[in-house]
Structure 1
Amino acid sequence: MQDSSNNRINRPLKIALRVFAITLTIAGVVLFLVKSSTLSNDKVEQEYVAQGANRIENGIHVRTGLIEGEGLMEVVYNCTNCHTAQIIIQNRMNAEAWATTIDWMQETQNLWDLGENEDIIINYLVTNYPVKPKGRRVNLVDVEWYELDE
């Protein structure tokens, strides 16, 4: 039979070992869940690409709504990482204005150096989204005006 003072010394050691074992078990479960989550996200990404993330229908890039044309994928890969394609579609500019806008994004928004892609992107933008010569809104036409009763 063991001495009671020996049991008192071993008891804190047993508790510490149990706490350590529980901590290792929890860490293992958390690591497993994080790794499983990463794998499932990779699978989702692969499935998304396999299902046609860059599919074109009726001349339109389905995911972004951009017009199919030379330089489309450079625009998708470089521009829509930071903002929606709708910003591109609504901001119709000439080549000089696009170059100035790109310079501004590089100076203030952390846009990386586009290198050779810059000319490809600008050419795509001015070809597919040229400046439209009109004012703030289209003039009203064929409106039947009526007088207000006082």
Structure 2
Amino acid sequence: MSQNEDFHKGIKKIYHQLMLLFSLFIIAGALLVLYVVNPGFFANKTGVNTYVATETIELDEDRIENGIHVRTGLIDAEGLMTVVNNCTNCHSAKLVTQNRMSKERWNATIRWMQETQNLWDLGKNQDIIVNYLVTNYPIEEVGRRANLINIDWYELED
């Protein structure tokens, strides 16, 4: 066998080993993704419901602590879940709460979202949502920041 043939056989062997290693990485990555997306998939299949923990986590998403909806940070009040179910599907609750508006402006904003952003018809939920927002996140008539008070001024030395 010539040196050239030995070299090609060696390269071919290395190529096959690299392809095997690459395939193992792909399989391991796929299993990792499967585990992250659905941890119950790898649980012991004893007939016991392996998805209880996942369901518990989903229910905890609507937990209220100290009057605040934990997942969104919204105030717990009448209409909260209607706001959560209709508003936080498309954007964060922060976007909602930072835009403190009057009833008229909220209704105009909702019309704009329906006309330009494919927001569905809210039906009777629109009044519930607007009332919740106007009541719990009213317009604040303040500027950029509150005025400074009780300041100890001092002279800068040159």
Q: TM-score range by the shorter chain?
A: 0.5 to 0.7
What one-letter code is carried by the residue in structure 2 that aligns with 1:40?
N
Give 1:136 deviation, angstroms: 1.9
Aligned pair in 2 of structure 1 residues 45, 114: CA closer, same or farther (>3 Å)? farther
The amino acid of 1:49's aligned partner reads E
Pairwise CA distance, 1:103? 1.1
Q: Which residue of 2 aligns with 1:99?
A: 107
1:113 corresponds to which of 121, 139, 142: 121
Write out per-residue CA displacement over residues 47-70 of structure 1, whole angstroms, 9 at most, x where no aligned residue: 4224x2101111100110000011
Secondary structure of 1:135's aligned partner:
coil
TM-score (norm 1): 0.68
Q: Would you say 1:40 and 2:49 are equivalent positions?
A: no
Q: Does 1:62 align with 2:75?
A: no
Whether 1:125 aligns to 2:133 is yes
2:93 aligned to 85, 96, 100, which one? Answer: 85
Identify the range of structure 1 (108-117 vs 119-128) with the bigger mean alpha-carbon deviation: 108-117
Gaps of 5+ in 1: 1-32
In the alignment, the residues of structure 1 paired with residue 39 and residue 142 of structure 2 have an alpha-carbon distance, to the nearest angstrom, of: 46
Which structure exhibits the higher relative contact order, with contacts defined as CA atoms closer than 8 Å and separated by 6 or more residues? Answer: 1
Whole-angstrom CA distance in 2 between matches of 1:95 and 1:47: 37
Give the aligned length: 116
- What is the root-mean-square deviation in Å for CA atoms of aligned residues? 2.5
